[in-house]
Amino acid sequence: NAGVTQTPKFQVLKTGQSMTLQCAQDMNHEYMSWYRQDPGMGLRLIHYSVGAGITDQGEVPNGYNVSRSTTEDFPLRLLSAAPSQTSVYFCASSPGQFGGYTFGSGTRLTVV
Amino acid sequence: AQSVAQPEDQVNVAEGNPLTVKCTYSVSGNPYLFWYVQYPNRGLQFLLKYITGDNLVKGSYGFEAEFNKSQTSFHLKKPSALVSDSALYFCAVRPPPDSNYQLIWGAGTKLIIKP
């Protein structure tokens, strides 16, 4: 019963590098989302998806891309890393409107 | 604008005492309400939710929350605090219509339980 799996757990990038944060869930949840968590700012929604093939922007989408080719996977791509993207990133999934979210354990990203 | 407020950045409680973590919201209609907990260096964990029905909702780890429609509040409570309850607590609201399952999040309240 893995739930939501995020990889990697830690990553250091140089400014301008690109990378993909992986997120996979094995609960057949329709909804998946990416958040970033910064000190004093709570959770901010980056992108979300309500099903395979459907994605949309959240509150802070600039500098990030997503795709949802399968129900299980929802990768987050950083196109050209900037120090402002230093944060902890969480992936979450939900079975639908009545369900709570299940969160991954997070990826701590540092951009130098 | 729709919003969720957690008016206390930090709540300090002695072990064994009752605890309350406050949440109020400004959302039209009848929203769904949630509480999550985050332990240090961990992801958020779902605690409980209110969808409809009884205003007192029971959740994980002995927590409960009381929905008050007239005061637009959803305070988290526990009768007897444990040191292990020390964590960051988030209130979240899903406003209707629920076409995209998104949540509006409070900023979080740090709960410190002192032995």
Shortest alpha-carbon distance between residue B24 and chain A (Å): 16
CB-CB neighbors (< 8 A) of B35 in chain A: none
Burial readout B26-54 (b: 16 or more C-beta within 10 A, e: otherwise): ebeeebbbbbbbbeeeebbbbbbbbeeee
Please list the residues that pair with A90 across neighbouring strands: A35
Q: What angle do CA A42, A47, A52 make, to 5 degrees?
A: 140
Shortest alpha-carbon distance between residue B19 and chain A (Å): 22
Tokens of residue A71, six digits: 């129900």
CB-CB neighbors (< 8 A) of A42 in chain B: 90, 105-108
Spatial strand order of the sheet with A19-25 comes to: A4-7, A19-25, A76-78, A64-66
pLDDT digits (tens, 9 = 90+) for A51-107: 999 999 998 999 999 999 999 999 999 999 999 999 999 999 998 767 789 999 999
- Tell whether the torsion through CA atoms of A36, B42, A30 and A24 is positive or negative: positive
Amino acid at the residue A80: S
How far is residue A13's CA from residue A8's CA, in Å, rounded to a whole number?
12
CB contact under 8 A, B32 and A94: no
Contact B76, B11 (CB under 8 A): no
pLDDT digits (tens, 9 = 90+) for B41-100: 888 999 999 988 899 999 999 999 999 999 999 999 999 999 999 999 999 998 876 656
